[in-house]
């Protein structure tokens, strides 16, 4: 999912016959030049009720937990249980997956958190990333990177490279959702070592770490945006066509 920078409009500039605010054809207000807030388009945006009426549940909580436990079992079978594992969570989306995953790991686990962002001024990722926060000494350690989703592969690919350059003994990756058909050319051979769900042609997903404008990460399920909802997002200018 690629979200463009949001732009804004004044609600009282767009009305219908019954004087209720209507969605503009573009999200840009030539008068203010401000940014469009999703709360202006959807007054109840971000609430549990909002997501319940606009999402179709694809992965219920029980199914997600089952897959995470399976991933944990695979990890347990891949490392000596008497050898510490440095598990690194990629903020913010990876948090729900990471917190459930480490509960089921049997080896000693050192938990670390990093914030990752692309740098550059284009809308497309440059393929280079900037890590915020100080990493621990990874020299000679087994490292597991945990994130919510891998699509283009840029972020995960660069993280693996950087961690290996820090002389980690091993670097493996675990993701909740693998969208293999979204890989960019330079990452076409990238495959996470452990994945909860691996699907192609997956719809617009929200929940369990996956967000919409910073909201919805805390939902206990993964849902797909209903077609009418996606169209509203596009019409309003909140979502790229």
The full DSSP string for 150-172 is ESS-HHHHHHHHHHHHTT-SEEE
Cα–Cα distance, 75 to 118 (Å, whole number)? 29
Query: Where are any strands of DSSP class E within the chain?
Result: 55-59, 85-91, 109-118, 129-132, 142-150, 170-178, 194-198, 205-206, 222-225
Told to judge if 178 belongs to the known catalytic residues of this protein, a careful annotator would answer: no
Return the domain boundaries, the chain: 1-241
Q: Lowest mean pLDDT: which of 17-26, 90-99, 181-190? A: 17-26
The pTM of the whole model exceeds 0.95: no
Whether CATH 3.40.50.2020 fits 1-241: yes
> Pick the catalytic residue: 147, 151, 178, 211?
151
Residue 233 is predicted with a pLDDT of: 83
**Mean pLDDT of all residues in the chain?**
80
User: Cβ atoms within 10 A of the Cβ of 142, count?
Assistant: 19
Reported confidence tier of residue 41, pLDDT bands at 50, 70, 90: confident
Q: What is the mean pLDDT of residues 38-66?
A: 93
């Amino acid at each position: 999912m690629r979200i463009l920078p949001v732009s804004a409009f004044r609600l009282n500039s767009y009305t219908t016959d019954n004087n209720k605010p209507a969605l503009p054809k573009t999200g840009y207000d030539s008068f203010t030049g401000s940014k469009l807030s999703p709360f202006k388009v959807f007054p109840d945006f971000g609430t549990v009720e909002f997501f319940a009426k606009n999402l179709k549940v694809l992965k219920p909580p029980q199914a997600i937990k089952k897959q995470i436990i399976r991933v944990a079992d695979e990890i347990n079978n891949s490392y000596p249980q008497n050898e510490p594992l440095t598990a690194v969570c990629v903020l913010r989306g990876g948090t729900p997956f990471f917190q459930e995953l480490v509960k089921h790991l049997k080896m000693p686990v050192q938990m670390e958190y990093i914030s990752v962002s692309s740098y550059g001024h284009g809308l497309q990722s440059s393929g280079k990333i900037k890590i915020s926060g100080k990493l621990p000494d990874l020299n000679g350690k087994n490292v597991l990177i945990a994130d919510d989703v891998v699509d283009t592969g840029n972020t995960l690919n660069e993280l693996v490279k950087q961690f290996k350059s820090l002389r980690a003994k091993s670097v493996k990756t675990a993701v909740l959702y693998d969208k293999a058909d979204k890989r960019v050319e330079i990452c076409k051979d990238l495959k996470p070592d452990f994945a909860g769900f691996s699907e192609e042609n997956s719809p617009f997903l929200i929940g369990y770490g996956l967000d919409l404008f910073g909201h919805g990460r805390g939902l206990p399920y993964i849902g797909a945006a209903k077609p009418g909802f996606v169209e509203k997002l596009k019409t309003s200018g909140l979502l790229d066509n």
